[in-house]
């Protein structure tokens, strides 16, 4: 049996575990009715306006940088594993690689992508 | 040539999940659901990669696509206004036309794929075990130019995206 | 700019950072505050009206319930106003006892503020450690007055009871211990870099607007204005003590916070002097006042420096045994007036820091 | 100002399954894990919610210190302080938003009956007008140990619902 | 240096972790309460002369006194403190110059039911007065009101 | 300190002939001159700190006794301002009175920002209207609350059973 | 004996690609179009890896290609979203309903 | 004997099944199920115990005692809590996205549990030995971000929305420095296999040879677990309970448990990567390896709690700024330093 089947089992059983907990709770918990019970909680007063609104996301640029650098790591890890067996040429290549990305990072910094808008 | 029955079952199940969620991505009306189906699709695709013995690819599929790209799309969604979240992912007017075009492409593709005698080129050489090691070696020797170009591409994308989005910030002060 | 939608969030009335039933209607753009409108009145109990139906003595317990964190100061403010109205001379010993309760109240209130502020910023331990010290002060107060929070200790013309045997020694002991605890707060809270990052340069309040908006107490002094009624217009017997008025420099949340810490140290100093002096003062604790108080027709306005700012009582008498009108100038209430401007452009987390640094107590805001 | 508008809906407790022995076990769990809602109205809140949690009284010994701000996760509503007419609707709303099973402790004269301010034009005469109260803790404010007593009394009631019938 | 404050903070909690705890384990151990503590009330009904001073002093009309005239003396028939309205301010105790009303150290007054909250100290019938003295008194007291203690006005 | 205040009051009396000064140095200003008077206080006498704004209801005796509501209500309401000077250290109590029937007076918000909340409170509890106030609405009570509780003729029922 | 051959993978990829294509053509929402483009790129990846396994298992060419495709895809999403936001921003003052494909 | 007790049990079961004539595949499956159950039980018991420990530690640091009434020394406190939470009503408010609202608590437990499959608890004690273990951990861990977001977004509550937006930006920002910091370790080890990483620490723990990486990793781990000082997502005094605001009963309990499972993972990973995993220090090998692992893990957990009960909370912009402006450049620098250091090391021929 392959390792990955084991992983699949973990995934499935974990989901079942979660679902089981919720369902068991559903069976035994008491329930009641009240007028305002199902309304959104907002410190006890009725919520004003729509909730699923356009959200001013100052986080967007962070996410962008994250994706870019996350992709970078998928190149870095194979290199890191081979680091000891590869020659210094590979190290220099990687330095160039990183340097190019660091330029990007520096640019992002300079442009204030890391500032909170 | 896959012989193990479990692999066959796994393939069909994964394919079903992938195609099912792909259809849902297109079909659902709520863009957030769309993204979540996208994530499901990506994760099961990682399963397909595992069947194909591409372990590293499977992992980065989850890491990059489900973990990063989906999240960025979510950010994008949150930034853009819509009247109602529940009606945020509708079809446009050319749906029928699109369906026609797609049906034709699919037909052509299917015919071509069916005609080609893939089996001829299939070899049974097992994939070497430590694929990650190999990939690292290859990237830094044989594919070193694309490797550096990838870095360049990423940087350019980063700079470009920031430049596009920068105006967001520049105007942000007023 | 990306014109994102602003949305309204109710911050309160039931919210841990509003210190009671207080509500701020926030207009947010993402996490930025566009507008913060305070909504108060959830604890409006009509004390001013109730006071019109109580005799002068009977109003005293109600003043406790205004600023329940520093009831001693409230009592003092009220009775001094009536004494001003009736022109009663209060015996020295009573004055000292009042000062001691007042300063202990001030420390208790500030200690609670430090703790709650730490909690607002997210440091839970600071909150509970501060309670330990507060608990010791409350013990003293309970011994003297019988209640832990709502003392009703001052009486028109004096105080309710003399200090019990050995009480002053115990006060002295606690008072001498306190600076050690303040050092702990400095280590745990004020000196913490994260705490400073959260509070420094946040919620800027310029000296001009602080004066213009009639803000008072540490909120005003945090902006560098030297205006402490204990020094500026000494009431009671504050002119007998030697103390300083700590001032802030930048007018940010940290200065307002730190002013209070320093003020506690000054209070300790005052207390030490007061204990020393009261030991030499014997005598009655009540002036000669008639059983039924009927102040002459007239009005009086008297201000004292409470822990939150300038606490003023305005009392009109029509010659009967019940006040015709009592009005309380509540520092917390007035200090809230500038909240919107301070918050604008900040983040949600800043609102918590700013609101906390004003140190409101809802019983007083809503009266 | 009309409390009638806020008349609490009749509490309809029903269950999918109801097994008395199971219920008994669950009651034991419930009784030992009463999470109060972090919700203070006035002076009493300082004593009843902060003081009891303070180092000296330490409600956490009983496991009751997990203050949840969201009513969805709380078990006990500790009404500590004066309820005004402005506050009444939201108190009721919070109560209704709490998930079953839930209890209420009224701490202090104000929450019991309006207390010192009962004659005021703006004060609701007690939490009992809005929501069913399980335990009353008189005092103005009650000492934290009295509040602990109130909690223990409630625990008794949860463990053994019959105590209030007799 | 940056980080000094952070380390100092850790030091405080570390020391606190090992230091003696401040908790008094109520209800196993009792907290010490000072003699002046405003706890539950106690009425010495023998000492009380039903003068009503306490009720008059009370800011919130907590105390309800009823008395009847028996043998020239006021006889206390009812003394109820609606402590659900009480401020525990101590004005009543201060006003009572007979020392009949006083605070105890007891703090636990919690109840399951609202109706159990008021403290009923005295609720009794007036004893039958001696017939001899009664006749005499009747004429004297007709005009005076017997019964309710003066209540606070305006409530 | 008191001497300083005395001289200030004297000067003021010269400038504004209509003001009255009581023994306790309470200055009564007619409504019409209130704004200019206050502006003068702030600009020339460094009265930069408005501590307190409040008002008292003085219905005519007839009304106070709860008799029929007369149309010609002679009662007044007094609005009281307590102004401090941080630099000079003195305090002045300024009074003005408005008719009870139509209590209206200019807002001091333009002079002292601190008037904002306090005037709203006075409006809320006594129903005195401050014209030109930027945001005059109820602050403590509910919007749906009827009447002004601190007026002497306010009727209500308590909750005592 | 049921087996999974290269054809299966190729067909899976083809269908996925078609769904993606349909979405690109038929969706009103720009972000949705972007999502569908991702789908198409992934379909291509399946092909690459399948070919890599079945045709050149030893030299990992397909896998390395797939890595580059992922790189490109990530960059594409980033820039794509930035463009959408930029267009959206510039057009907003005009009329929201005009930009049909952005308002949904 | 003690050293191999768990492995012995496993082998015993395997042999038992083998002798009963169960085919190998089924045997493997059953074994996996046994391990799975063991891990779930382990997580649950530890999560319960950790909640208790947290409350005790909190109490002790705050001059009070903490739970001591329910069960001996209060040990059953959290059991009672969970019992109560199970029997609490699950409220599904009106406007929520019902399916997603329920899906989030169901799924929230999946990533932590799956990650546990590859963690070596002791010598040869791991459910699945993956060559690519470390990367697997990252990949799975990155999924929980999405699940938190689902929970917060679907609640149709503004606090939840704020919280969920915070949680993704925070977790995303700290995942990167974490991964970059570990590159230094990987360069030394040359493998992603967790067992090999542990074995590479035979001579010196990586906390000594890679102190910067350790610091970055630890800070990032605290942030990934949403612990003070980075607990913005819950930030009680700001946004009530963040994404959990609308969850009641079991839904909340699931998040609650998952939070502690995540802490366990973070500390277990710290142990594995920097504290030598189950390796015994100072040659104290008579204590079984798994015990060492637990001891180290609990020390790390204690530090987590210690931080939590000492520090205030940072603000969101400070949090992200710190991640991007301090940790990312630092971790990049760490790569260079490690690389050059290793060349020097080799040149010196040690
Ligand atoms: S009962 Fe007393 S202490 Fe409690 S809220 Fe009411 S007035 Fe305040
Ligand atoms: S303590 Fe105060 S409120 Fe209570 S009965 Fe006595 S006088 Fe009245
Ligand atoms: S004042 Fe004392 S003696 Fe008089 S009625 Fe009250 S308790 Fe009795």
ipTM of model: 0.87
Distance from CA of C275 to the nearest CA of D (A): 27
Residues of A in contact with G78 (CB under 8 A): 64, 67-68
Choose the closest CB to D29 out of H63, H64, H80.
H80
Q: Which pLDDT belongs to residue G57?
A: 67
DSSP H282: G
User: Could you give the number of structural domains in chain D?
Assistant: 1
Q: Which residue has the higher pLDDT, E137 or H230?
A: H230
The domains of chain A are located at 2-32, 57-110
Q: Collapsing DSSP states into helix, strand and coil, what is residue H326?
A: helix
Strand order in the sheet with F76-84: F20-21, F26-28, F91-99, F76-84, F49-58
Q: Which pLDDT belongs to residue H207?
A: 84
Residues of G in contact with C1 (CB under 8 A): 89
- The secondary element (H helix, E strand) that includes residue E41 is strand E41-43
Cβ within 8 Å, pair C30-A57: yes
The answer to whether position D121 is within a domain reads yes
| Least confident among D113-127, F63-77, F107-121 | F63-77
Residues of E in contact with F160 (CB under 8 A): 61, 85, 155
- The secondary element (H helix, E strand) that includes residue B78 is helix B70-79
The answer to whether position D65 is within a domain reads yes
Token digits of residue H276 = 């030598």
- Per the prediction, chain B carries an average pLDDT of 76
Closest CA to H193 of A25, F22, B132, B142: B132
Q: How many CB atoms lie within 10 A of CB G5?
A: 15
To test the contact with chain B by mutation, choose from G65, G81, G92 the residue with the greatest count of B C-beta atoms within 10 A, namely: G81
Token digits of residue D116 = 């010192």
Let me know: does E94 contact E129? Beta carbons within 8 Å: no
Residue keyed to tokens 């781990």: H221
Q: In the C/H pair of chains, how many CB contacts fall below 8 A?
A: 78
* CA F78 to each of CA B69, F39, F99, H258: distance values in angstroms, whole numbers, following the listed order: 68, 20, 9, 64
E12 has a chain C CB within 8 A of its CB = yes
Pocket test for ligand 3, best of E46, E50, E62 (most atoms within 8 A of CB): E50
Q: What is the CATH number of domain B1-94?
A: 1.20.120.1200
Let me know: does C311 contact C327? Beta carbons within 8 Å: no
DSSP G96: T
* Span from the CA of E94 to the centroid of ligand 3 (angstroms): 10
* Span from the CA of D113 to the centroid of ligand 2 (angstroms): 15
Backbone angles phi, psi at H91, to 5 degrees: -90, 130
| Least confident among E64-68, F122-126, G50-54 | G50-54
Strand order in the sheet with E63-70: E63-70, E73-81, E119-123
Pocket test for ligand 2, best of E43, E92, E120, E155 (most atoms within 8 A of CB): E92
Q: Which pLDDT belongs to residue E1?
A: 58
Q: Which pLDDT belongs to residue F75?
A: 82
Distance CA G58, CA B127 (A): 6
This prediction's pTM: 0.89
Distance CA B66, CA C220 (A): 52
D69 has a chain H CB within 8 A of its CB = yes
Q: Which pLDDT belongs to residue D90?
A: 85
Q: Which residue of D has its CA nearest to E30?
A: D145
Distance CA F89, CA F5 (A): 9
CATH number of the structural domain spanning residue D125: 3.40.50.12280
Domain containing residue D48: 36-159
* CA G17 to each of CA B18, B97, F1, G23: distance values in angstroms, whole numbers, following the listed order: 11, 17, 89, 10
* Span from the CA of E106 to the centroid of ligand 3 (angstroms): 21
* Span from the CA of D42 to the centroid of ligand 1 (angstroms): 7
Cβ within 8 Å, pair H310-E10: yes
* Span from the CA of B134 to the centroid of ligand 1 (angstroms): 74
pLDDT digits (tens, 9 = 90+) for A93-109: 788 888 888 888 888 88
Residues of G with CB under 8 A from a CB of A: 67, 70-71, 74-75, 77-78, 81-82, 85
Strands (E), chain F: 20-21, 26-28, 49-58, 76-84, 91-99, 104-106, 129-131
pLDDT digits (tens, 9 = 90+) for D30-64: 888 888 888 888 888 888 888 888 888 888 888 88
pLDDT digits (tens, 9 = 90+) for B97-128: 777 887 888 888 778 777 776 554 555 555 55
pLDDT digits (tens, 9 = 90+) for H21-62: 777 777 778 888 888 888 888 888 888 888 888 888 888 888
Distance CA C252, CA B71 (A): 36
Distance CA H265, CA D119 (A): 59
Residue keyed to tokens 């919720």: A22
Closest CA to D80 of D102, D54, D112, D56: D112
Closest CA to D49 of D25, D65, D28: D65
The domains of chain G are located at 6-89
Residue C174 CA, distance from chain mean position: 21
pLDDT digits (tens, 9 = 90+) for H243-287: 888 888 888 888 888 888 888 889 988 888 888 878 877 777 777
CA atoms within a 13 Å half-sphere pointing along the CA-CB vector of F123: 23
- The secondary element (H helix, E strand) that includes residue H85 is helix H77-86
Backbone angles phi, psi at C354, to 5 degrees: -70, -50
**Mean pLDDT score, H161-190:** 86
How big is chain B by its Cα radius of gyration, in Å?
A: 21
Residue H243 CA, distance from chain mean position: 19
Pocket test for ligand 3, best of E45, E62, E65, E150 (most atoms within 8 A of CB): E65
Residue keyed to tokens 């790189």: G71
Distance CA C50, CA B70 (A): 61
pLDDT at A85 over 80: no
Q: Which pLDDT belongs to residue C1?
A: 43
Q: Which residue of B has its CA nearest to H176?
A: B68
pLDDT digits (tens, 9 = 90+) for A38-59: 777 877 777 777 777 766 656 7
Residues of B in contact with H153 (CB under 8 A): 32
Fold of G6-89: Helix Hairpins (1.10.287)
The answer to whether position D45 is within a domain reads yes
**Mean pLDDT score, C22-38:** 84
3-state SS string for chain C: CCCCCCEEEEECCEEHHHCEECEEEEEEECCEEEEEEEECCCCCCCHHHHHCCCCCHHHHHHHHCCCCCCHHHHHHHHHHHHHHHHCCCCCHHHHHHHHHHHHHHHHHHHHHHHHHHHHHHCCHHHHHHHHHHHHHHHHHHHHHHCCCCCCCCEECCEECCCCCCCHHHHHHHHHHHHHHHHHHHHHHHHCCHHHHHHHCCCCCCCHHHHHHCCCCCHHHHCCCCCCCHHHHCCCCCHHHCCCCCCCCCCCCHHHHHHHHHHHHHHHHHHHHHHHHHHHCCCCCCECCCCCCCCCCCEEEEEEEECCCCEEEEEEEECCCCCEEEEEEECHHHHHHHHHHHHHCCCEHHHHHHHHHHHCCCHHHHHC
Closest CA to C307 of C91, C96, C68, C41: C68
Q: What percent of chain H has pLDDT over 90?
A: 0
Closest CA to H334 of H211, H228, H220: H211
Backbone angles phi, psi at E69, to 5 degrees: -85, 120
Give residue ranges with CB within 6 A of ligand 1: C 65, 150; D 42-44, 81-82, 108-110, 115-116, 140-141
Length of chain G counted residue by residue = 104
Let me know: does G83 contact B164? Beta carbons within 8 Å: yes
Cβ within 8 Å, pair G92-C3: yes
Q: Which pLDDT belongs to residue B84?
A: 61
Q: How many CB atoms lie within 10 A of CB E153?
A: 8
Q: Which residue has the higher pLDDT, C115 or G8?
A: C115
Q: Which pLDDT belongs to residue E136?
A: 53
The answer to whether position D42 is within a domain reads yes
Asked if the bond preceding C13 is cis, omega within 30° of 0, the reply is yes
The domains of chain B are located at 1-94, 128-167
Report the b/e string of B80-109 with b at 16+ CB within 10 A.
Answer: bbbeebeebbebbeeeeebeebbeeebeeb
């Amino acid at each position: 049996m392959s390792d990955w089947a084991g992983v699949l089992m973990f995934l499935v059983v974990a989901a079942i575990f979660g679902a089981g907990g919720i369902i068991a709770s559903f069976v035994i918990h008491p329930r009641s009715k009240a007028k305002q019970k199902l309304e959104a909680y907002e410190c006890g007063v009725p919520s004003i306006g729509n909730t699923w609104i356009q959200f001013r996301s100052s986080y967007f640029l962070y996410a962008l940088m994250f994706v870019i650098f996350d992709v970078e790591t998928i190149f870095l890890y194979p290199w890191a594993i081979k680091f000891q067996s590869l020659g210094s040429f590979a190290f220099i290549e990687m330095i160039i690689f990183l340097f190019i990305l660091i330029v990007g990072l520096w640019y992002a910094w300079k442009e204030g992508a890391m500032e909170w808008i | 040539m896959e012989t193990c029955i479990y692999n066959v079952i796994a393939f069909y199940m994964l394919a079903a999940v992938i195609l099912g969620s792909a259809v849902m991505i297109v079909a659902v009306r709520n863009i957030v659901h769309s993204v979540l189906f996208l994530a499901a699709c990506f994760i099961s695709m990682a399963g397909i990669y595992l069947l194909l013995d591409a372990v590293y690819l499977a992992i980065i599929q989850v890491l990059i696509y489900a973990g990063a790209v989906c999240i960025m799309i979510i950010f994008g969604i949150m930034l853009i206004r819509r009247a109602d979240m529940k009606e945020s992912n509708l079809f446009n007017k050319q749906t029928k036309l699109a369906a026609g075009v797609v049906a034709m492409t699919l037909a052509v593709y299917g015919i071509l794929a069916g005609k080609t005698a893939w089996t001829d080129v299939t070899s049974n050489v097992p994939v070497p075990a430590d694929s990650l090691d190999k990939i690292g070696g290859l990237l830094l020797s044989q594919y070193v130019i694309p490797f550096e170009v990838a870095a360049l591409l990423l940087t350019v994308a980063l700079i470009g995206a920031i430049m596009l989005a920068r105006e967001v910030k520049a105007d942000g002060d007023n | 700019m990306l014109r994102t939608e602003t949305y309204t969030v109710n911050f309160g009335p039931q919210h841990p950072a509003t210190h009671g039933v207080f509500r701020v209607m926030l207009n947010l753009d993402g996490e930025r505050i566009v507008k913060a409108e305070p909504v108060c009145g959830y604890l409006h109990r009509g004390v001013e009206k109730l006071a019109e139906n109580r005799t002068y003595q009977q109003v005293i317990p109600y003043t406790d319930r205004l600023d329940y964190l520093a009831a001693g100061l409230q009592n003092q403010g009220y009775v001094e106003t009536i004494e001003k109205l009736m022109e009663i001379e209060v015996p020295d010993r009573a004055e000292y006892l009042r000062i001691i309760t007042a300063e202990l109240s001030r420390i208790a209130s500030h200690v609670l503020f430090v703790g709650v502020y730490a909690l607002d910023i997210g440091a839970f331990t600071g909150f509970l450690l501060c309670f330990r010290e507060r608990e010791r002060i409350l013990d003293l107060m309970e011994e003297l007055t019988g209640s832990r929070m709502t003392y009703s200790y001052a009486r028109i013309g004096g105080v309710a009871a003399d200090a019990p045997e050995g009480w002053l020694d115990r006060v002295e002991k606690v008072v001498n211990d306190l600076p050690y605890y303040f050092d702990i707060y400095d280590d745990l809270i004020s000196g913490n870099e994260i705490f400073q990052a959260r509070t420094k340069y946040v919620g800027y309040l310029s000296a001009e607007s602080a004066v213009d908006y009639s803000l008072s107490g540490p909120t005003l002094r945090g902006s560098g204005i030297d205006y402490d009624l204990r020094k500026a217009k000494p009431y009671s017997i504050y002119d007998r003590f030697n103390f300083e008025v700590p001032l802030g420099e930048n007018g940010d949340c940290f200065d307002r916070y730190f002013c209070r810490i320093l003020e506690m140290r000054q209070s300790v100093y005052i207390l030490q002097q007061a204990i020393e002096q009261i030991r030499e003062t014997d005598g009655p604790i009540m002036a000669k006042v008639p059983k039924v108080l009927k102040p002459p027709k007239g009005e009086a306005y008297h201000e004292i420096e409470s822990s939150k700012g300038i606490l003023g009582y305005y009392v009109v008498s029509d010659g009967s045994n019940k006040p015709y009108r009592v009005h309380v100038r509540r520092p917390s209430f007035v200090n809230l007036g500038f909240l919107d401007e301070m918050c604008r452009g900040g983040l949600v987390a800043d609102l918590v820091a700013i609101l906390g640094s004003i140190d409101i107590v809802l019983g007083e805001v809503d009266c | 100002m009309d409390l009638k508008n806020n008349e609490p809906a009749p509490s309809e407790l029903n269950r999918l399954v109801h097994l008395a022995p199971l219920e008994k076990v669950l009651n034991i769990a419930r009784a030992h894990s009463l999470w109060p809602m972090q919700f203070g109205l006035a002076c009493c809140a300082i004593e009843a919610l902060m003081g009891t949690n303070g180092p000296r009284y330490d409600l956490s010994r009983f496991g009751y210190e997990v203050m949840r701000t969201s009513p969805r996760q709380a078990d006990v509503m500790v009404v500590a302080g004066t309820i005004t007419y402005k506050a009444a609707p939201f108190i009721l709303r919070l109560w209704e938003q709490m998930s079953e099973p839930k209890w209420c402790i009224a701490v202090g004269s104000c929450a019991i009956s309006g207390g010192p301010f009962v004659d005021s034009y703006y004060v609701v005469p007690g939490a009992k007008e809005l929501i069913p109260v399980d335990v009353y803790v008189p005092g103005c404010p009650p000492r934290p140990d009295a509040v602990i007593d109130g909690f223990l009394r409630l625990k008794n009631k949860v463990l053994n619902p019959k105590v209030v019938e007799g | 240096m940056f980080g000094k404050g952070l380390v100092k903070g850790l030091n405080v909690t570390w020391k606190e972790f090992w230091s003696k705890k401040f908790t008094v384990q109520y209800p196993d151990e009792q907290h010490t309460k000072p003699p002046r503590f405003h706890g539950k009330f106690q009425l010495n009904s023998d000492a009380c002369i039903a003068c009503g001073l306490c009720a008059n002093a009370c800011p919130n009309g907590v105390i309800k006194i009823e008395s009847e005239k028996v043998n020239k003396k006021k006889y206390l028939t009812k003394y109820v403190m609606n402590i659900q309205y009480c401020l525990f301010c101590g004005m009543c105790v201060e006003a009572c110059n007979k020392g009949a009303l006083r605070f105890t150290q007891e703090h636990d007054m919690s109840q399951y039911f609202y109706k159990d909250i008021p403290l009923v100290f005295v609720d009794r019938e007036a004893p039958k007065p001696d017939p001899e003295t009664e006749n005499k008194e009747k004429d004297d007291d007709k005009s005076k009101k017997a019964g309710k203690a003066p209540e606070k006005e305006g409530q | 300190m008191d001497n300083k205040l005395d001289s200030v009051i004297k000067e003021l009396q010269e400038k504004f002939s209509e003001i009255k000064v009581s023994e306790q140095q309470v200055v009564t200003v007619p409504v019409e001159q209130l704004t200019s008077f206050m502006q003068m206080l702030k600009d020339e006498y460094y009265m930069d700190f408005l501590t307190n704004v409040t008002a008292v209801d003085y219905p005519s005796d007839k009304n106070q006794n709860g008799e029929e509501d007369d149309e010609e209500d002679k009662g007044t309401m007094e609005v009281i301002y307590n102004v401090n000077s941080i630099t000079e250290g003195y305090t002045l109590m300024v009074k003005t009175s408005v008719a009870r029937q139509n209590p209206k007076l200019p807002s001091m918000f333009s002079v002292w920002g601190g008037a904002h909340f306090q005037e709203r409170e006075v409006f809320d509890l006594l129903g005195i209207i401050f014209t030109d106030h930027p945001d005059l609405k109820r602050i403590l009570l509910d919007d749906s609350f009827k009447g002004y509780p601190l007026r002497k003729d306010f009727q209500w029922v308590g909750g005592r059973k | 004996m049921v087996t999974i051959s290269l054809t299966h993978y190729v067909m899976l990829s083809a269908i996925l690609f078609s769904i993606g294509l349909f979405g690109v053509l038929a969706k009103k929402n720009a972000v949705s179009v972007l999502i569908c483009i991702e789908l198409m790129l992934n379909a291509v990846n399946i092909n690459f890896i399948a070919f890599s396994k079945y045709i050149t298992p030893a030299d990992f060419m397909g896998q390395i290609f797939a890595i580059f495709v992922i790189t490109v895809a990530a960059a594409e999403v980033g820039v794509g979203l930035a463009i959408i936001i930029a267009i959206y921003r510039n057009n907003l003052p005009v009329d929201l309903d005009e930009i049909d494909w952005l308002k949904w | 004997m003690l050293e191999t007790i768990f492995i012995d049990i496993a082998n015993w079961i395997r042999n038992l099944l083998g002798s009963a004539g169960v085919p190998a595949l089924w045997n493997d499956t059953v074994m996996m199920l046994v391990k799975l159950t063991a891990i779930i039980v382990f997580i649950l018991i530890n999560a319960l115990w950790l909640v208790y420990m947290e409350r005790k530690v909190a109490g002790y640091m705050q001059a009070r005692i903490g739970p001591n009434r329910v069960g001996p020394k209060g040990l059953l406190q959290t059991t009672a809590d969970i019992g109560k939470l199970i029997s609490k009503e699950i409220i599904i408010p009106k406007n929520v996205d019902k399916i997603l609202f329920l899906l989030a608590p169901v799924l929230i437990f999946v990533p932590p549990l799956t990650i546990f499959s590859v963690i070596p608890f002791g010598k040869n004690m791991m459910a699945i030995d993956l060559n690519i273990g470390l990367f697997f951990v990252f990949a799975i861990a990155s999924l929980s971000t999405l699940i938190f977001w689902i929970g917060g977004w679907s609640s149709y509550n503004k606090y939840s929305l704020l919280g969920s937006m915070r949680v993704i930006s925070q977790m995303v920002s700290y995942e990167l420095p974490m991964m970059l910091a570990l590159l230094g370790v990987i360069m030394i080890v040359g493998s992603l296999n967790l067992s090999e990483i542990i074995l590479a620490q035979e001579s010196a723990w990586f906390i000594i040879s890679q102190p910067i990486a350790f610091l970055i990793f630890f800070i990032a781990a605290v942030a990934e677990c949403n612990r003070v000082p980075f607990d913005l997502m819950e930030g009680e005094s700001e946004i009530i309970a963040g994404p959990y605001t609308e969850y009641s009963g079991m839904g909340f309990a699931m998040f609650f448990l998952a939070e502690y499972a995540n802490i366990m993972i973070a500390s277990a990973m710290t142990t594995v990567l920097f504290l030598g995993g189950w390796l015994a220090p100072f040659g104290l090998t008579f204590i079984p390896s798994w015990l060492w692992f637990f001891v180290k893990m609990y020390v790390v957990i204690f530090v987590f709690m210690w931080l939590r009960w000492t520090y205030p909370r940072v603000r969101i912009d400070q949090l992200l700024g710190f991640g991007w402006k301090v940790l990312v450049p630092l971790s990049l620098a760490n790569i260079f330093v490690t690389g050059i250091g290793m060349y020097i090391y080799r040149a010196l021929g040690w």
